[in-house]
Chains A and B, each alone.
Chain A
Amino acid sequence: GAGVSQSPSNKVTEKGKDVELRCDPISGHTALYWYRQSLGQGLEFLIYFQGNSAPDKSGLPSDRFSAERTGGSVSTLTIQRTQQEDSAVYLCASSQMTGTYEQYFGPGTRLTVT
């Protein structure tokens, strides 16, 4: 079946602009996670959604970052007033539920802020 998809695959934007990154999880997966991976670094947790529960936003680095998940499926990560330090690969993962279920990752969106 279809895996997790993310769009766009690459995004170049100017400092100060807003960007939206999209994640389509595997159908039926109720948990959805966003991560950021900078060059040579591990995955930095940003936010997760579980069903209709309030999301855990504890990893968002500033109030310029926000995310929503509509209808329990597609999710959008929005970065406002982008800064050069926001340049990274943004990865999305979904799993059947939160807990220790296997996460399936998308291919990521490479964001470059010039």
Chain B
Amino acid sequence: EDQVTQSPEALRLQEGESSSLNCSYTVSGLRGLFWYRQDPGKGPEFLFTLYSAGEEKEKERLKATLTKKESFLHITAPKPEDSATYLCAVQDIASGTYKYIFGTGTRLKVLA
């Protein structure tokens, strides 16, 4: 069964304190792994899509990496505006469908 597990559940960082969020996944065949950011009271906002092990993508202070079992979202020198819940999702090519399986997210709080 497809599964996505994110850790930690919550993370508090000081401004400028770099860290990483983890997304472990189990699928028969990965079509894509997706990162989204969700602010309170809003819908998720797309960040990255990763397709194969070894791939990396960057956007401002965020960098996403992918292995065959997990993905990391690295946050370099975070700012308070990076505070949000970060969601990871996968699509399993073997499922024959295009549904997304989401993890429960990591709630990030960056303190000034």
Residues of A within 8 A of B (CB): 4, 31, 33, 35, 40-45, 48, 50, 56, 58-59, 91, 93, 98-100, 102-108
Residues of B within 8 A of A (CB): 4, 6, 31-32, 34, 36, 41-46, 49, 51, 87, 89, 91, 97-105
Q: Given A59-B99, A98-B98, A43–B87 Cβ distance below 8 Å?
A: yes
Q: Which residue of B lies closest to A108 (CB)?
A: B43
In the bound complex, residues from chain A placing their C-beta under 8 Å from that of B97 are: 48, 56, 58
User: Least Cβ distance of B106 to chain A in Å?
Assistant: 11
Q: Which residue of B lies closest to A50 (CB)?
A: B98
Q: Is the CB of A99 within 8 A of B98?
A: yes
Q: Is the CB of B98 within 8 A of A93?
A: no
Q: Is the CB of A48 within 8 A of B43?
A: no
User: Least Cβ distance of A111 to chain B in Å?
Assistant: 15
The CA of A47 and the CA of B87, in the complex, are separated in Å by: 19
The CA of A30 and the CA of B43, in the complex, are separated in Å by: 19
Q: A43-B87, A103-B34 are in contact. List 13 more A-B contacts (CB 8 A).
A: A33-B100, A41-B104, A42-B6, A42-B103, A50-B98, A56-B99, A59-B99, A91-B43, A100-B51, A100-B91, A103-B44, A105-B45, A106-B43
Q: Is the CB of A105 within 8 A of B99?
A: no
